[in-house]
Amino acid sequence: MLALFPGEPVEVDSALRSVRPLDHQEVPDGSMSHHPVAAWPGLLDQVRQAIRTRHYSFRTEEAYIGWIRRFVQFNHKRDPAEMGAAEVSRFLTLLAVDRQVAASTQNQALAAILFLYKDVLDRDFGWLDDVVRAKRPQRLPVVLSQQEVHALLSALNGVPWIMGTLLYGAGLRLMECLRLRVKDVDFGRGEVIVREGKGAKDRVTMLPSAIVSRLTAHLERVRTLHAAGFGRVGLPDALARKYPHADREWGWQWVFPASTISADPRTGERRRHHLHKSVPQRAIREARRRIGIAKPVGPHTLRHCFATHLLEAGYDIRTVQELLGHSDVRTTMIYTHVLNRGGRGVQSPADRLLSGVGDSC
């Protein structure tokens, strides 16, 4: 984790930690001098304001601030308005060639830089639309068999087991699971309502009946923690001003709250946050190691298994698309390539040969 400012950790690939500014002789105008960016903290404040005006997530804010800061520092803190396509291209080349980052990481850096120029500095340079984006490789998701999923979940205990079963049984993303509130779990209808998922979209998915008893007991413990004090949570948008006491109400509490109180990274107010994502990540990683699964497994792997196993069971791909919250069915179709039916559902000629079929050939 790289701390840009106190209390603001940003996930950064270890290869990026050694990004250094260009040498003086590499300044595009050929001079040995450069103009430092004016009011450096003020520039980042403008970026924050533009991001929050557009209601981007805090994780996006962290990532964009980090990339913009590294981009400007890489160019000797020169004013971004004085830089152009050459500086952007050199920075992206450094990431791709020297640091060997993934295409998605390179594109995230480019998105942050374009946001700086278009939305913060309001500069519509012609070269902005000509910057080449890295092509992301088409990779198949890692999917476990049902037996492997059963073994993995059996190796989890307590809250990680409940979270892991929700990830697999409801097809939730990790942050969607962590951000569940009590009011969004409907035991009567057997539903989980995902609020502001990816793309700021709401959706409804199923509540696995296998976790109802354990989840109910868990929520009773959470209610006890809530009653003990410091039961204030962050609310979306302007709800805190509209309903001043809603942050103390039981329905708005996190299903998976942290055990300690922490300061809100945006407002500085002390509140109870939800569990950190490292808790289920570490638990699933250790469970995989204990049971000896060789495949790389993380929380998102269980979501992949949810989709694949539903398709294997014969459910319609449009139904799976809706449960996953995909905007385009083509995103869901990736799971048709990993169904447990061999290569695209075709029987291998070796299987036919070795089973005695086609002996006359």
* Residue 273 bears catalytic tag: no
Among candidate residues 64, 117, 168, 335, the one labeled active-site is 335
* Residue 295 bears catalytic tag: no
Among candidate residues 70, 78, 303, 309, the one labeled active-site is 303
The secondary element (H helix, E strand) that includes residue 205 is strand 203-206
**What does the DSSP 8-state code read for residue 117?**
I
How many residues can be counted in the chain?
361
User: Long-range contact list for 351-357, CB < 8 A, 24+ apart?
Assistant: none
By the 8 A CB rule, do 113 and 83 touch? no
* Residue 59 bears catalytic tag: no
Single-letter amino acid, residue 68 = I
* Residue 303 bears catalytic tag: yes
* Residue 335 bears catalytic tag: yes
Among candidate residues 77, 173, 214, 223, the one labeled active-site is 173
Identify the residue whose tokens are 């430092």: 36
By the 8 A CB rule, do 225 and 256 touch? no
* Residue 173 bears catalytic tag: yes
Among candidate residues 76, 77, 198, 285, the one labeled active-site is 198
Burial classification of residue 298, based on how many CB atoms lie within 10 Å of its CB (0-12 exposed, 13-18 middle, 19 or more buried): middle
**Short-list 33, 65, 12, CA closest to 266:** 65
Contacts of residue 153, Cβ cutoff 8 Å, sequence gap at least 6 = 161, 164, 165, 168
Tell me the catalytic residues. 173, 198, 300, 303, 326, 335
